[in-house]
Amino acid sequence: MSDKPERVDGYLVAAGRYHDIDFARRELLGLCAEHDELRMQVAADFRDAEAIGASRFLITYTCDVRPSQQEQEALKRYVEGGGRWLALHGTNAVLDFTAKGVAAPRVIDTLAFTLGSQFLAHPPIQPYKVESCAPDHPLVAGVPDFETDDELYLCEMHEPEKLVPLLKTHYRGDAAGFVRSDWSEADEHLVMYLRPLGEGAVLYNTLGHCRGHYDMRPAMDYYPKVERCSWEKPEYYELLRRSLRWCLGTLE
């Protein structure tokens, strides 16, 4: 009997607007390359439901990528059937720019239900503290609370009673520029959680904003500041490495 690990197929969707997708894709594939048995298929959308369905797990780093209703239903079936989905940062974000500010249109209801949340707004990038909600859970055990300067996602949660909170932060205040701008009555916001669904689950981590000089077109040709946010934090990479092991089924 061979003691060599069996090949594992994974699927990465990295695409969208207003983020340095090339940077995020490169970093995520670098982490995947730490596992010799892992082979990744990479795409910019969710159209190939057959290939996603044949993969052990799905990783997504997107912003304003809008799967069709058929694709959303296929993703839901994938998780319900036992698939594991590591969803990062803007996977739950769709953005409409209106006269009243940036809106979160209700065009991904099935996707948001599957993910357990839909992005509504974020305050300006500024430091905030990320705290553990589950100090004994293997995905976060031993990871110290840390401060990051990232987009603090303010979301509408779906079936919150079924979510498994892992990391949280606190915020009350404004989210200027968004239609839902008043968050004065809010306080605790999940940063990372598990969303069990059927035989599978979604692991969502809202951290990981990144932007380069050329990622704000057509709004502007040259963005003055390169933003790496939590990608500069060793705690974030530790969380990603554990999340990938969860995808592989070697960490529960």
pLDDT 10s digits, 150-187: 999 999 999 999 999 999 999 999 999 999 999 999 89
CA 51 to centroid of chain Cα atoms: 20
Alpha-helical segments (H) within 90-223: 109-115
Nearest 5°: CA angle at 81, between 75 and 86? 55
Query: Please, which pLDDT band fits residue 2 given cuts at 50, 70 and 90?
Result: low
- CA distance linking residue 187 with residue 208, whole number of Å: 21
- Can you read off the two tokens belonging to residue 92? 């739950």
Task: Give pTM, 2 decimals.
Answer: 0.98
Q: What is the mean pLDDT of residues 64-75?
A: 98
Contact (Cβ atoms closer than 8 angstroms) between residue 112 and residue 92: yes
The set of residues, in sequence order, having a beta carbon less than 8 Å from that of 244 and lying 6+ positions away, is 31, 32, 35, 59, 86
Of 170, 193, 9, give the one whose Cα is nearest residue 87. Answer: 193
All domains of the chain, ordered by start, with CATH? 8-248 (3.40.50.880)
